[in-house]
Amino acid sequence: MDIRINGVRIAASPSIFQPTILDLDNAETTVRTSNGVLNRDRVAVKRQIQVEWPPIPMPKISALLKQMSGVTFQLYYPDPMAGTYVTKSMYVGDRTAPMAFEKNGVVWWEGLKCTLTET
């Protein structure tokens, strides 16, 4: 799978890459009537992607986290709704990565997880 941030292939391949297609509704004008009918005012369709990596060594996790360090960045990825690769402006939420082990002087990190959300 070809995944790129700002045109550069990501530093490590994820083990989980799970896009979610989000409908964003206008909170003021989307309402249910007294008989339960929804009057929906959808204002946008966005993507949110859950990503997780297998154990990766310190140099790769560092490079990967630096790739996602901007306030926003361009993510190139396969989109299930578009049926092709697309580029979208994204930002990253919290990033968690418990340390797994040290081997031959290299620290490996287990299960880096993050959520990428379209701007």
Report the pLDDT value the prediction gives residue 33, as an integer from 0 to 100.
85
Instruction: Quote the pLDDT of residue 41.
Output: 81
What span, in angstroms and rounded, lies between the C-alpha atoms of 101 and 79?
34
pTM of the model: 0.87
Taking the chain (119 residues) in runs of 10, the rounded mean pLDDT of each run is 98 98 88 85 94 96 97 99 99 93 94 97
Domain count, the chain: 1
Q: Are 90 and 115 in contact (CB under 8 A)?
A: no
Quote the domain boundaries for residue 107: 4-29+38-118
What is the C-alpha separation between 109 and 56, in angstroms, rounded? 5
What's the pLDDT at 25? Answer: 86
